[in-house]
């Protein structure tokens, strides 16, 4: 965020539209940083994709859409909507299977559980009643032992 602020300060006067675009999409640009290190490369580049169709520097979704465009150009009118959807889902399933092959450490596997535990604890604190009244000590007795 500090680098973004410096970049905005340096180029705001010369390139106002580019700076505005950066400011609008900054959170989307850094979203991959929330993932573990082992996943970032697969998210940002196509190293996990088939080496025959390797294009360096594109993200996974752009690569999948590019591959589907290439396939449909070979036979432009052969694919109806349902067939094209099957083709795209098959590509997404293949990409997901490759992504599952990413090695993670035991620490990285425990991270989501620790985050979930922390969020649950914070929610329990937010939603807990401020005090719990003791009803037994404060209520007057409505009947006597003699049943009169």
Tally of domains within the chain: 2
Residues 53, 120: one domain? Answer: yes
For residue 87, is it within any domain? yes
Give the mean pLDDT of the chain: 72
Q: What is the pLDDT of residues 80-96, one digit of tens each?
A: 777 777 777 787 777 77
DSSP H/E element including 143: none
Residues 16, 67: one domain? Answer: no
Higher pLDDT, 99 or 36: 36
Residues 53, 72: one domain? Answer: yes
Q: Show the domain range for 19.
A: 1-33
Q: Which pTM was predicted? A: 0.34
Average pLDDT over residues 13-34: 83
Three-state DSSP class for residue 148: coil
β strands within the chain, DSSP E: none
Residues 23, 89: one domain? Answer: no
Residues 79, 58: one domain? Answer: yes
For residue 133, is it within any domain? no
């Amino acid at each position: 965020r500090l680098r973004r602020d410096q970049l905005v300060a340096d180029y705001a006067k010369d390139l106002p539209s580019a700076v505005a675009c950066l400011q609008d999409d900054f959170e989307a640009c850094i979203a991959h940083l929330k993932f573990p290190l082992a996943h970032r490369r697969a998210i940002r580049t196509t190293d996990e994709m088939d080496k025959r169709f390797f294009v360096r520097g594109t993200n996974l979704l752009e690569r999948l859409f590019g591959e589907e465009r290439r396939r449909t150009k070979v036979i432009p009118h052969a694919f109806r909507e349902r067939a094209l959807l099957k083709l795209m889902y098959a590509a997404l399933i293949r990409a997901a299977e490759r992504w599952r092959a990413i090695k993670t450490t035991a620490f990285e596997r425990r991270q989501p559980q620790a985050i979930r535990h922390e969020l649950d604890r914070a929610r329990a604190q937010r939603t807990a009643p401020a005090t719990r009244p003791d009803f037994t000590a404060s209520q007057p007795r409505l009947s006597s032992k003699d049943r009169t």
